[in-house]
Homo-oligomer: A and B are copies of this chain.
């Protein structure tokens, strides 16, 4: 029996030392983010009141395509990077597809997801600039775990607002954050004005990334020495996550292939951007015609059914106005287990790229996502995060199309994290007690009517 290479790892010396900033090479730049009071474009100075100055500069950097990764961050990357690129022979066999399926295994990070890639630089910049505290929101808890650990690494105190439904669905993620020394509060909470306002209006509000962002932003703006940090949506987060795709490109070279289609699940855009942008630069340069597919939940369909408009990034309207596909900042996502995808909007860069047809989007039902995830677990031995299940479902759909045609399509997707702390969701799926959620066009229209 011939041994086929399944796992591709980079030598430490080959790990990229720069991030790729797609903003510098986009032909159509995104419209500017606006200060909601003045309606003027947001400046680095304004942004840096909330986030670190370096992150603010990166957010508005439309000129430099490559940004050096700071040495202390690289030093930490080298603890767990490269993550493996894996040829999913087991999944191919289970599907009976001639397609070549690869996944970039970000679940192999110590935290269990890709989120550490941006948590480390964000915490580092805050510390370098003199902050003592950092605060953020988290959905499923992947980002909260990453920032809790990154804060510990660089010596910051960390406070996390976790979406209430996830706090209750995934208690172990809260435990991990606490093990790393973070303070964790379910959101909406009574600890902020934003939280109080939301709870007054909707006493049973289950929380969303939008509510948790409002609370974290308020804490940062009202606490001296405290900076806010975001795990997705913003361009500097996508920038940091490009380490995923930059590695994957080198690893695909090792495998002797180039992807025909690149797939990521989609909440705010961080892992999708991370895997996609480094490959997309070759499309922008006219060298390749790769397809890029963002897989979002059927119940939170901002890319497939949202409105392209200016909207806030949070429920209470603390953030700048951003030009993006949105379901409305007051949208209350259904209680799906993919907590990291329960967000009303998409980052400005991804929104522009989708508008310009440089990428596509598909929606996946909760049941389809778990069906795909379970097949992946059985064939590859890794239980995927409910978020990642959406990317797997989209990859399987692409691979199935090759069965009648015989096409050896090269499919690459990002396994953004493992689902070992989401087993109650799998239990429900296996026992048949999990359902689908949809949203009517009328409800979407109502939500975005005033945007």
Interface residue stretch chosen among A223-231, A305-313, A417-425: A417-425
Let me know if A75 and B381 touch, CB within 8 A.
Answer: no
Contacts of A111 in B (CB 8 A): 381
Give the CA-CA distance A129 to B270 in the complex, in Å. 48
- Candidate in A178, A378, A383 with the most chain B CB atoms within 10 angstroms: A383
Let me know if B112 and A430 touch, CB within 8 A.
Answer: no
Give the CA-CA distance A78 to B380 in the complex, in Å. 12
Let me know if B79 and A179 touch, CB within 8 A.
Answer: no
Interface residue stretch chosen among A2-10, A23-31, A34-42, A357-365: A2-10
Kindly identify which residue among B4, B112, B175, B179 contacts A378, using a CB–CB cutoff of 8 Å. B179
Let me know if A153 and B78 touch, CB within 8 A.
Answer: no
Let me know if A378 and B75 touch, CB within 8 A.
Answer: no
Give the CA-CA distance A382 to B12 in the complex, in Å. 20
Let me know if B381 and A3 touch, CB within 8 A.
Answer: no
Contacts of A176 in B (CB 8 A): 383, 420, 423
Contact with B along A368-400 (1 / 0, CB 8 A): 000000100111111100000000000000000
User: Top 4 A-B pairs ranked by shortest CB distance?
Assistant: A175-B423, A110-B381, A172-B423, A110-B382
Let me know if A7 and B378 touch, CB within 8 A.
Answer: no
Nearest Cβ on chain B to A154's Cβ, whole angstroms? 12
Let me know if A178 and B430 touch, CB within 8 A.
Answer: yes
Nearest Cβ on chain B to A103's Cβ, whole angstroms? 12
Cβ of A71 within 8 Å of any chain B Cβ, yes or no, is: yes
Contacts of A379 in B (CB 8 A): 152
Contacts of A32 in B (CB 8 A): none
Cβ of A1 within 8 Å of any chain B Cβ, yes or no, is: yes
Let me know if A79 and B374 touch, CB within 8 A.
Answer: no
Residue of B nearest to A112 (CB): B420
Cβ of A292 within 8 Å of any chain B Cβ, yes or no, is: no
Cβ of A143 within 8 Å of any chain B Cβ, yes or no, is: no
Give the CA-CA distance A61 to B374 in the complex, in Å. 40
Give the CA-CA distance A60 to B381 in the complex, in Å. 31
Let me know if A180 and B420 touch, CB within 8 A.
Answer: no
Cβ of A72 within 8 Å of any chain B Cβ, yes or no, is: yes
Give the CA-CA distance A149 to B374 in the complex, in Å. 12
Give the CA-CA distance A7 to B12 in the complex, in Å. 8
Give the CA-CA distance A385 to B379 in the complex, in Å. 25
Contact with B along A146-177 (1 / 0, CB 8 A): 00010011000000000000000001100110
Residue of B nearest to A78 (CB): B6
Let me know if A179 and B75 touch, CB within 8 A.
Answer: no
Contacts of A377 in B (CB 8 A): 179-180
Give the CA-CA distance A110 to B90 in the complex, in Å. 13
Contacts of A112 in B (CB 8 A): 420
Give the CA-CA distance A420 to B175 in the complex, in Å. 9
Kindly identify which residue among B116, B175, B420, B424 contacts A426, using a CB–CB cutoff of 8 Å. B175
Contacts of A423 in B (CB 8 A): 171-172, 175-176, 179, 421
Let me know if B175 and A424 touch, CB within 8 A.
Answer: yes
Contacts of A86 in B (CB 8 A): 79
Nearest Cβ on chain B to A399's Cβ, whole angstroms? 19
Cβ of A74 within 8 Å of any chain B Cβ, yes or no, is: yes
Residue of B nearest to A152 (CB): B378
Let me know if B381 and A7 touch, CB within 8 A.
Answer: no
Give the CA-CA distance A171 to B3 in the complex, in Å. 36
Give the CA-CA distance A286 to B379 in the complex, in Å. 45
Contact with B along A410-451 (1 / 0, CB 8 A): 000000000011011011001000000000000000000000
Contacts of A179 in B (CB 8 A): 374, 377-378, 383, 423, 426, 430
Let me know if A3 and B421 touch, CB within 8 A.
Answer: no
Contact with B along A222-253 (1 / 0, CB 8 A): 00000000000000000000000000000000
Contacts of A72 in B (CB 8 A): 1
List CB contacts (< 8 Å) of A112-169 with chain B. 112, 116, 149, 152-153
Let me know if B110 and A378 touch, CB within 8 A.
Answer: no
Let me know if A427 and B175 touch, CB within 8 A.
Answer: yes
Cβ of A108 within 8 Å of any chain B Cβ, yes or no, is: yes
Q: Can you list 21 A-B contacts with CB-CB less than 8 angstroms, sorted by A residue number?
A: A3-B71, A3-B78, A5-B78, A7-B80, A79-B380, A110-B381, A110-B382, A112-B420, A152-B379, A172-B172, A175-B424, A176-B383, A178-B430, A179-B377, A179-B378, A179-B423, A179-B426, A179-B430, A180-B377, A180-B378, A421-B423
